[in-house]
């Protein structure tokens, strides 16, 4: 039997100045500088929403406002807001426990063995609960040459709708495979990975009614063997034990979250210190998603990478376009507006930042459910899931939309090549290099329609650059790349084509010089033989003829 839990209901307080008490007001503070964000932390302002974007909403006193004004901080008074109160209403059995989640995942994998499998990716930090990843695809036991789309839920324990949406997505994909043509196509042509429950320890603290507002994982910070200790228990900003898993990723880790172990934003003792994060990053580095969603609550907004030191992400145009379309596919609970879009703060160890910065994955953070709820009654539960499934399927379809893709290989060996891929119009060295995969040599880059320059670099091969590649709208543009260990026509090995190569070749044919290395470097006309005609071809090239070509010699 499940324990009795409670969810929040709303008492509406509609006051033009949003005064909650004598001199206490709700305001939106814009983080124009890191100092302003830090000041909000130092003042210990009570957040109304997570301040992961370009602003934060806080409850403040007149004294707090005076201090912010002294820093010339931009702020606005929120015209109205809703204050949460706890009402004793039992949570519905539709919400999954850890045990139910695990049982269902294995049952799905058993019932649909050709398109579903479950695997362990690690255990939780404190109580060693196994964390599971679930894959849906045809030929599910094989890592095929298909785009990868990834979903996860419940980095933050009380944000339970992420788990519920992920489980609903699994059910929808499996139940409708072979019946719905679009779902069948997506499963057949996509590698879909889902981690429904990132934080099983913290989630169990919620489900076991230790705290409806438990946010972090279960790490026993003070080592006293008393788990899930807290200083207060009436809001997600209460100081508790544990680590905020969505501040623990190794991306500008030291600039995000809080160093205070009891803070709701505590980032951990080091980047990636938590077992939950280690399991996820190991999986993600293996599968390298093209697109991903990491579910949170609340706010009905999509957070998009990023604003980093005042600058948008290098892929801003495509990132923002996808965020807008994703948001427009999900209706808010009021029934007449869709989700909003905002930019995540880039200097923070959040999942979306790490995935984009480290892997090149377009990772979005949906804040589901309207303020200020985490656990909602059944009449809202199913509607929120239905709307967010629309977003899931938009993202799955977008994985097959406008992009540049191809295979990097070596004709000399016939093998795929791992190489760094740069699209110069959206390239920045602030991001980690994007690498073609080692199994197929595949690269994928989501773009908007336009003309682009592709550069491919490898320590073992000659770097190449291709200009004026036209990426078409509403479809995949394929551009395969052959890499060679030599430059055809560069017979003297100086990596330049000039008259010296002609001289080198003539001397060789007269028997006074050494042969080109490799020999096929001298095969300027591409007939896979080195003859005097190659000298003539090179001379003609320097007089304005066609360039040397690689022959199909292997």
C-alpha–C-alpha distance, residues 292 and 303, integer Å = 12
Mean predicted confidence (pLDDT) in 308-333: 97
Task: Give the mean pLDDT of 317-336.
Answer: 97
User: What pLDDT, in 10s, does the model give residues 16-34?
Assistant: 334 444 457 888 888 888 7
CA atoms within 13 A of residue 554's CA, in its CB half-sphere: 11
pLDDT score recorded for residue 23: 59
C-beta separation of 20 from 26 below 8 A:
yes
pLDDT top residue among 88 and 254: 254
pLDDT bucket at 516, cuts 50 / 70 / 90: very high
Tell me the pLDDT tens digit for each residue of 221-231.
999 999 999 98
- Residue 536 is predicted with a pLDDT of 95
Q: State pTM to two decimals.
A: 0.88
- Looking at 7-46, list the stretches that DSSP marks H as alpha helix, in order from N- to C-terminal side: 34-42
Q: pLDDT digit string (tens) for 469-489?
A: 999 998 899 999 999 999 999
Residue 274 has pLDDT above 90, yes or no: yes
Whole-number pLDDT of residue 271? 98
pLDDT at 13: 38
What are the angstrom distances between the C-alpha of 81 and each of 19, 93, 151, 258, 359?
10, 30, 31, 27, 38
Q: What percent of the chain is modeled with pLDDT above 70?
A: 93
Strand segments (E) across 325-475: 340-345, 362-368, 403-410, 415-416, 420-423, 434-435, 442-446, 450-457, 464-471
Nearest to 121 by CA among 110, 136, 135: 135
Spatial separation of the C-alpha atoms in residues 295 and 288, rounded to whole Å: 18
The per-residue pLDDT of the chain, averaged, comes to: 91
pLDDT of residue 310: 86
- Describe the crossing of helices 378-398 and 181-189 by its angle, rounded to 10 degrees: 60
Q: Give the tens place of pLDDT for each residue, 31-71.
A: 888 788 788 878 878 777 776 667 778 888 888 888 888 88
The domains located in the chain, with CATH, are 17-79 (3.30.70.340), 98-398 (3.40.630.10), 403-482 (2.60.40.1120), 487-554 (1.10.1330)
pLDDT given for residue 423 in this prediction:
99
Q: What angle do CA 516, 519, 520 make, to 5 degrees?
A: 120
Binned at pLDDT 50, 70 and 90, residue 4 comes out as very low
Give the Cα-Cα-Cα angle 473, 331, 137 (nearest 5 degrees): 60
Per-residue pLDDT reduced to its tens digit, 389-439: 999 999 999 999 999 999 999 999 999 999 999 999 999 999 999 999 999
- 193-220 pLDDT tens trace: 999 999 999 999 999 888 889 999 999 9
pLDDT, residue 89, reads 47
Q: What average pLDDT does the segment 442-448 reach?
A: 99
């Amino acid at each position: 039997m499940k324990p009795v839990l409670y969810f929040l209901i709303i008492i509406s307080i509609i006051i033009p100045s949003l005064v909650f008490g004598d001199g206490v007001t709700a305001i939106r503070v814009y983080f124009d500088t890191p100092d302003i964000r830090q000041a909000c932390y130092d003042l210990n302002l009570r957040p109304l929403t997570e301040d992961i974007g370009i602003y934060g909403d806080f409850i403040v006193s007149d004294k707090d406002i005076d201090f912010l004004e002294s820093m010339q901080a931009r702020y606005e008074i929120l015209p109205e807001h809703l204050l949460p109160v706890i009402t004793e209403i039992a949570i519905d059995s539709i919400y999954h426990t850890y045990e139910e989640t695990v049982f269902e995942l294995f049952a799905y994998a058993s019932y649909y063995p050709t398109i579903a499998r479950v695997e362990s990716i690690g255990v939780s930090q404190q109580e060693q609960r196994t964390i599971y990843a679930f894959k849906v695809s045809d030929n599910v036991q094989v890592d095929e040459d298909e785009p990868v789309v990834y979903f996860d839920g419940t980095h933050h324990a009380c944000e339970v709708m992420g788990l519920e949406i992920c489980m609903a997505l699994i059910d929808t994909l499996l139940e409708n495979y072979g019946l719905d043509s679009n779902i069948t196509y997506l499963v057949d042509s996509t590698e879909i990975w889902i981690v429904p429950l990132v934080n099983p320890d913290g989630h169990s603290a919620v489900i076991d009614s230790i705290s409806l507002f438990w946010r972090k994982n279960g790490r026993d910070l003070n080592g006293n063997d008393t788990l899930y200790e807290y200083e207060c228990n009436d809001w997600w900003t209460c100081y508790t034990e544990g680590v905020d898993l969505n501040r623990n990723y190794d991306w500008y880790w030291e600039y995000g979250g809080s160093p205070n172990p009891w803070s709701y934003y505590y980032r951990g003792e080091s980047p990636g210190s938590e077992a939950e994060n280690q399991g996820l990053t190991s999986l993600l580095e293996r599968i390298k998603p093209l697109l991903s969603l990491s579910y949170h609550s609340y706010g009905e907004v999509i957070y998009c990478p990023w604003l980093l030191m005042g600058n948008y992400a290098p892929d801003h145009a495509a990132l923002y376009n996808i965020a807008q379309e994703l948001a427009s596919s999900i209706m808010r609970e009021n029934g007449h507006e869709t989700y909003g879009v905002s930019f995540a703060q880039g200097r923070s160890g959040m999942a979306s930042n790490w995935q984009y910065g480290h892997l090149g994955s377009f990772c979005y953070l949906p804040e589901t459910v309207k303020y200020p709820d985490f656990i909602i009654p059944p009449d809202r539960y199913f509607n929120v899931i239905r709307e967010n499934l629309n977003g899931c399927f938009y993202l799955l379809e977008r994985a097959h939309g406008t992009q540049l893709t191809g295979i990097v290989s070596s004709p000399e060996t016939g093998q795929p090549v791992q190489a760094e891929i740069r699209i110069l119009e959206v390239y920045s060295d602030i991001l980690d290099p994007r690498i073609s995969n080692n199994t197929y040599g595949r690269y994928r880059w989501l773009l908007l329609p336009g003309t682009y320059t592709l550069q491919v670099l490898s320590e073992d091969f000659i770097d190449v650059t291709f200009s004026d590649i036209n990426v078409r709208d509403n479809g995949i543009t394929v551009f395969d790349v052959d890499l060679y260990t030599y430059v055809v026509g560069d017979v003297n090995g100086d990596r330049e084509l000039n008259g010296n190569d002609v001289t080198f070749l003539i001397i060789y044919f007269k028997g006074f010089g050494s042969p080109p290395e490799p020999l096929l470097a001298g095969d300027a006309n591409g007939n896979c033989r080195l003859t005097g005609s190659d000298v003539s071809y090179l001379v003609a090239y320097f007089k304005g003829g066609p360039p040397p070509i690689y022959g199909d010699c292997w």
